[in-house]
Structure formats: C-alpha cells, structure tokens
Structure 1
C-alpha cells in the first residue's frame, strides 16, 4: 500500500475535493465552495490522496482557550486501511504545534464509523446537540 499524499487545498480543484469529502460524510450540513474558502482562511485544511485517488480530508481548528479541534474524514470505500489514523495523527501533531493543550473532535451521530474511530482513539463524549434545522445530532468529544 502506498502512503497518503496530503496537500493543503491551494486552488479550487483541491478545495473542491475537500468539499466533496465533507459533503459526502456530512450530508446534513452541505457546504458551498465559498463556505469551504472561508473555512480554509480560518482553519488548517488538508486533502488526502492515494495514487492520485481522493481518499479523505482533515480540518484542524486552531486552539481557542487552549483547545483545538481535529477532524479526520475518510470516504467509506477507503476506510479500514489506516488512512484515518494517519490523517488524525497529522492533525493532532498540527494542533500541538499550534499550542493546543487539549483536543476535541465533532462527529455527526449518523457517522457510526467516525464515532467508533474517535472512541477507539481515546475520545470521550462531552455533548450531544442538534443545530437549528437539523434532525441528526452532533457529538462533541474530547481526547482524554
């Protein structure tokens, strides 16, 4: 198996790939390309490819009051191969470089694979809530 090639979305093509992964995994909260551009200005985004094929993406929200948020997303066809672990590890390293003293993540409750991954990697649930207009709860988790 070849390693992942991780790149920040530096143009609309790679930003569209990040957006595709986000909107596929979070169908209840679709973003536009403009939304993704705005996120890229505030957060550290990366897109993951393996042999030129889109595999996943990550988001690191810089620390606020010492707490960073790290989100790793892997498309269903590529799960179970260690890509999530690689994306998460890289995001965790980035959060620590940015000065995070604690790390959180957020998972849509319908993403059972993502929730299992977070729990397996030492996260514990801290909150469950609905955003206005949503019917699927979000789950906040903190790394212990």
Structure 2
C-alpha cells in the first residue's frame, strides 16, 4: 500500500475532510461543520489519507464515567474499501479506547452500509440494537465486540 497516514482532527481542513467522509457514508444524518466542531470537543476524531487522497475517518467516543463502554467507528470511502484501511483505522481507534479505560467496545453502522456490517461482523461485533433517528427511515445498528 502507498503511504497511509492519519491526522488528528484539529484544523479547519481536517474538520472539513472528516465531515466529508461522515456525510458521504451517513447521508441520513448529515452534519454541519459546527456539529463536527462540537463532536471534536467530546470525541477523538481522525482522518486517513492515502498519499494525498482522503480515504476515511474514525471516531472514538470515550467511556462515560458511569460505564467503561467506548464506541469505535471506522469509515472508509467506497472507492478505497477492501484494502485494509478500515482495519488500520479500527485498530487505532481500539487502541485509543483501551487507553481511555474502555472494557467494552461498541460500534454503530447505518443499515444501508453492507460493507460496514460485514467489516463489523468480521471483526467480532454482534448486533445489540437497532434504532431510527427522528424523521429518518434508515435504522442505525449498534454492535458490541463479543
């Protein structure tokens, strides 16, 4: 693989890149830049580049004070899937979650993303819940690492 690099989301360009990947993969829950700015204050966000091309992003929602459950989400743009990028994003996110004290790891996948579901199942996740956001029709699937 060419030069795959990861950048922490902390500048306007990386905010926009993270937003682009998220909104491409989750078109039913499009986020504004202000919403991404708010998320970067609560979560660990990264973007991934292959050479100079944006290929994916990740989110780590740290464990809350009342539970040691963290959420790790890896997203790869469709044109760059099945090359190991998601596995690297996921491994980085899992390592971060564990360093933050997570004992339980969860992820969430939009039901219309069969590649994401296959990836989650292949990495040991099992479905624990489905829900639809208000005004939406496509369910999100919560999965937990078995």
Calculate the TM-score normalised by the size of structure 1.
Answer: 0.98
> Which residue among 112, 116, 119 is the counterpart of 2:118?
116
The structural deviation recorded for 1:69 is 0.1
In structure 2, C-alpha distance between the alignment counterparts of 1:118 and 1:91, rounded to whole Å: 13
TM-score normalised by the chain length of structure 2: 0.97
- Mapping of residues 32-47 of structure 1, within 5 Å: 32-47=32-47
Residues matched between the structures, number? 144
- Aligned mates of 1:126, 1:138 — CA distance in 2: 11
Gaps of 5+ in 2: none
Runs of 4+ in 1 over 2 A off after TM superposition: none
- Number of the residue aligned with 1:7: 7
1:2 Cα deviation (Å)? 2.0
Rounded to whole Å, the distance in 1 between the matches of 2:120 and 2:4 is 20
In structure 1, the partner of 2:129 is 127
Give secondary structure in 2 for the equivalent of 1:77. Answer: helix
Give the C-alpha shift of residue 10 in structure 1. 1.7
Distance in 2, matches of 1:48 and 1:126, equals 28
Q: Which runs of 5+ in 1 are unaligned?
A: none
Per-residue deviation, residues 15-57 of structure 1 (Å, max 9, x unmatched): 1000000000000000000000000000000000010110000
